[in-house]
Structure 1
Amino acid sequence: MRHRLNFDCDGAALAASLDEAPGTTGLLIVSGGNEIRAGAHRGMATLAQRVAAAGFPVFRFDRRGIGDSEGENGGFATSGRDIAAAIEAFRRAAPQITRVVAFGNCDAASALLLHPPLALDALILANPWTYEGDVEERGGPALPPAAAIRARYLSRLKDPKSLLRLFKGEIDLRKLFRGLAALKAPVPPAAPDSLAARIDGAIAGLATPATILLATGDRTAQAFVENCPSALNRIPVERLVSPSHSFAGNDGEWLAERILAVLAA
């Protein structure tokens, strides 16, 4: 059964939803961007329903200034208190739970990394956001990372239709070679105070067990791989061949299966 409730965060009333289940391990869903707790196309509400049906209670919430919650929206960079208050509210609402696993996609994954210590037993981090600024400020990544552009060039060069256009002179060779030459330049290391460097450092010092989920065709995931390559050697990574940033459609089945595996561990 699903219940609506409110909890306090620094004097603001935050709205939440609890999908009840008897399990002692619970899932806390942290919304990314400025999404409400239901998620894009109600994706997080659907995920919560499925996880609860498998026996694990699920708690979702709107952070301050979002959806039905009071207060000022400070973005993911200031959401540490919201997450901490949600964990406490979850434990009060489902007193049988002894273990809390948090899931966050995009800048919600970044928020879970940037605001320790949080009273969590495991993390599931999907497509962590490493671009400077909030998702809404940028309107999403303006360009794919260099690795993705390289892959696109290579795929086009292997495509018979693209090769035919090349032989017909329909492709500007000077522009093509300039682009390929520019992509050979090494990627400079992130500045020490950049978001990418902070995310990489947070993963290096992470004491909580974590799993990273990446949609390989998603620009945000591609940027994470390029900006934080060493992180991939520290934490288990599972990849889905998909461009869907929010694991829409059938990709939601893959996402739910990975989350349930962590909850059941």
Structure 2
Amino acid sequence: MRSVIAFPCAGETLVGTLDAGANTTGLLIVSGGNEIRIGAHRGMALLAARLAAEGTPVFRYDRRGIGDSTGENTGFEQAGDDMAAAVAAFRHEAPHLARIVGFGNCDAATALALFHAAAGIDALVLANPWTIEQPDDLPPAAAIRARYIERLKDPATYWRLLKGGVDLRKLAKGLAKISDTPSEDATRLAARLGSALATAGKPIEIVLAKGDATAIAFVDACVTTLPTHMIDTASHSFARGDDQAALESILRAALA
């Protein structure tokens, strides 16, 4: 049973959905980027329905300025109040909850790491945490480097280069990106995330899409001893059937 829930946050109105369940551990889904609460390709909505069918209550919401929620979208680094308001609404609508697991992908994962304690979340599953603030539209330097290394292992790359099948301007931009010194903003965010993960004092699982640029950048920027699950996919949102099954298995274990 899915209900649409409106709740207050700093003078604005946020909108979320509750997939009801009788279990005393619930899942809070934090949407990443500027996605509305259903997530990429409805993946989060379908995930919520499947977990709720097994008894897990699931709450998803739009932060201020996104989707149906009012106010200004000021980005994930200003979303702590939204998260706390969502947790309060979740507990109000499901008063039998004893424990809440937070799940987010990309910048939602980073927001959860930064703000979960103040929001009162008990455990985290963080997928492809966002660590990069960059001024251009190129992939992160670590992702470019990994891709170049992989291509250099393929003899066909050299044949394409000799035949003029490689865009030299694009190659030059990529090489320049690799040689750039990381920006202060980028290192600041990575440092904040690393500190938050190291001092959380709560169960945290990291989930990474092996071929995803954001996941590669996270591995490059943050050294962590936390339990880490690598899913063999390049899909940032775990869109393939096998990807979804692997992600759900990790979430079920965290919820248990």
TM-score bracket relative to the smaller structure: 0.7 to 0.9
RMSD over aligned Cα atoms: 2.9
1:237 is matched with which residue? 228
**Cα deviations across residues 97-126 of structure 1 (Å, max 9, x unaligned)?**
101000011111111122233311100111
Describe the shift of the 1:62–1:192 C-alpha distance in structure 2 as closer, same or farther (beyond 3 A). Answer: closer
Describe the shift of the 1:100–1:178 C-alpha distance in structure 2 as closer, same or farther (beyond 3 A). Answer: closer
TM-score of the two chains, using structure 2 as the length reference: 0.87
| 1:10, distance to aligned residue in structure 2 (A) | 1.7
| 1:188, distance to aligned residue in structure 2 (A) | 6.7
Describe the shift of the 1:213–1:192 C-alpha distance in structure 2 as closer, same or farther (beyond 3 A). Answer: closer
Q: Does 1:223 align with 2:224?
A: no
Q: Distance in 2 between matches of 1:101 and 1:204?
A: 18
Describe the shift of the 1:64–1:146 C-alpha distance in structure 2 as closer, same or farther (beyond 3 A). Answer: closer
Q: How many percent of aligned residue pairs carry the same amino acid?
A: 53
Q: Distance in 1 between matches of 2:220 and 2:57?
A: 35
Q: Does 1:199 align with 2:190?
A: no
Describe the shift of the 1:83–1:181 C-alpha distance in structure 2 as closer, same or farther (beyond 3 A). Answer: closer
Describe the shift of the 1:14–1:171 C-alpha distance in structure 2 as closer, same or farther (beyond 3 A). Answer: closer
SS at match of 1:8: strand
Q: Does 1:162 align with 2:157?
A: yes
Q: Is the 8 A contact 2:21 2:57 kept in 1?
A: yes
1:117 is matched with which residue? 118
1:142 is matched with which residue? 137
Describe the shift of the 1:98–1:184 C-alpha distance in structure 2 as closer, same or farther (beyond 3 A). Answer: closer
Give aligned pairs, total: 253
2:204 is matched with which residue? 210
Describe the shift of the 1:151–1:65 C-alpha distance in structure 2 as closer, same or farther (beyond 3 A). Answer: closer
Which structure 2 segments of 5+ residues have no match? none
TM-score of the two chains, using structure 1 as the length reference: 0.84
Q: Does 1:46 align with 2:37?
A: no
Q: Which amino acid aligns with 1:54?
A: E
SS at match of 1:195: helix
2:250 is matched with which residue? 258
Q: Which amino acid aligns with 1:255?
A: L
